[in-house]
């Protein structure tokens, strides 16, 4: 566990005054991207110590979330990914590992596709690569939600306590509008990923199990690994008894499998494809 106090502050990128926290030292830096309506600590709080035991870990509060005030700009994935790239340039980090959770896992994937040379490894948790991979009827139900339905929730309370210019209703509708502009990632784009990917999902999560297996197969997985070629560099973890909300709090499992994946040196000639 990291015993040093984090370095905290803001970086100015793309018109955004983005809040960050940095833990630990050494290794390839790991950048954490929290879920929608969340923040660094709301999504990753209990994991910060285990993840930063042997590496630098940088958590970012994305546009309008946590301690980062919103700006007059759409909250689409391309913009959020560009903010992460710009922040890493401020930190002088040429390459990093990326860990994205929930809706923002798609932002992490966006980075891995558009900035391959900047992403060494990708941890993709509780997200879907295509809308068809989300549990049936879920998006339709979310589309009918109102901001007041989240009042008093841990996400609403966290936002109200942290944000310098809180306007939860505005954040809710901006995120809802951004959801309408999400584009599917193609199978060819998944096959074209050059980085090892750790796919993580609860067994009753936002993505269907069939979708996670499909993506893993696109990455070269689902084979008989006891051959000279060995297993692919990418991995799939299904967390037992875990929903979308609770999957990120499976600390004992995540604090074991994520560092191990990041630390592994590929010994198999088979690349993710």
Whether 266 shows a pLDDT value over 60: the answer reads: no
- Residue at 159 is within a domain: yes
Q: What is the pLDDT of residues 110-125, one digit of tens each?
A: 999 999 999 999 999 9
Query: Distance between CA 211 and CA 233 in Å, rounded?
Result: 19
| 239 within a domain of the structure (yes/no) | yes
> Phi, psi (5° rounding) for residue 14?
50, 35
CATH number at residue 222: 3.40.50.1820
Instruction: Using a pLDDT cut of 70, give the percent of the chain over it.
Output: 96
User: In this predicted model, what pLDDT tens digit does every residue of 141-177 receive, in sequence order?
Assistant: 887 899 999 999 999 999 999 999 999 999 999 999 9
- Please state whether beta strands 197-204 and 119-125 pair in parallel, antiparallel, or not at all (unpaired): parallel
- Whose tokens are 């875990």? That residue is 242
- The answer as to whether 271 is a domain residue is no
Query: Residue 138: what pLDDT?
Result: 87
Instruction: Give me the pLDDT at residue 4, please.
Output: 67
Print the domain residue range for 167. 7-263
pLDDT at 41 over 60: yes
Cβ–Cβ < 8 Å for 222, 261: no
What does residue 108 show for φ and ψ, rounded to 5 degrees? Answer: -60, -40
pTM across the whole model: 0.94
pLDDT of residue 271: 42
Region 232-258: what's the mean pLDDT? 97
Question: Average pLDDT of 38-48?
Answer: 96
Q: How many domains does the chain have?
A: 1
* 76 closest CA partner among 36, 17, 131: 36
Nearest CA to 9 among 64, 77, 89, 91?
A: 91
In a domain, 272, yes or no: no
Q: Is residue 74 part of a domain?
A: yes
Q: What are phi and psi of 60, to 5 degrees?
A: -120, 135
Asked if residue 2 belongs to a domain, the reply is no
SS3 content of the chain, % helix, strand, coil (to 5): 40, 20, 40
pLDDT (average), residues 211-237: 95
Q: Is residue 273 part of a domain?
A: no
Contacts of residue 271, Cβ cutoff 8 Å, sequence gap at least 6: 194, 220, 232, 233
Which pLDDT value is given to residue 33? 98
């Amino acid at each position: 566990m990291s015993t040093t106090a984090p370095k905290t502050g803001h970086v100015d990128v793309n018109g955004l005054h983005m809040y960050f926290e940095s833990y630990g030292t050494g290794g390839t830096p790991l950048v954490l991207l929290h879920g929608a309506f969340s923040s660094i600590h709301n999504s990753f709080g209990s994991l910060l110590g285990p993840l930063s035991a042997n590496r630098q870990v940088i958590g970012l509060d994305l546009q309008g979330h946590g301690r980062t005030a919103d700006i007059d700009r759409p909250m689409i994935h391309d913009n959020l990914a560009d903010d992460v790239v710009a922040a890493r340039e401020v930190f002088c980090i040429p390459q990093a590992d990326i860990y994205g959770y929930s809706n923002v896992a798609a932002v992490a994937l966006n980075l891995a596709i558009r900035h391959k040379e900047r992403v060494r490894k990708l941890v993709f948790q509780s997200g879907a690569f295509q809308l068809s991979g989300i549990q049936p009827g879920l998006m339709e139900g979310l589309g009918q939600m109102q901001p007041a339905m989240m009042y008093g929730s841990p996400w609403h309370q966290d936002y109200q306590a942290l944000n310098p210019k809180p306007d939860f209703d505005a954040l809710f509708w901006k995120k809802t509008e951004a959801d309408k502009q999400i584009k599917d990632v193609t199978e060819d784009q998944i096959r074209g990923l050059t980085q090892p990917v750790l796919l993580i999902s609860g067994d009753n999560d936002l993505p269907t199990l069939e979708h996670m297996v499909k993506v893993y197969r696109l990455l070269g997985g689902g084979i008989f690994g006891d051959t000279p070629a060995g297993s692919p560099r990418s991995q799939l973890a299904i967390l037992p008894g875990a929903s979308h909300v609770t999957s990120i709090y499976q600390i004992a499992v995540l604090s074991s499998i994520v560092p191990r994946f990041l630390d592994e040196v590929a010994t198999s000639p088979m690349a993710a494809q």
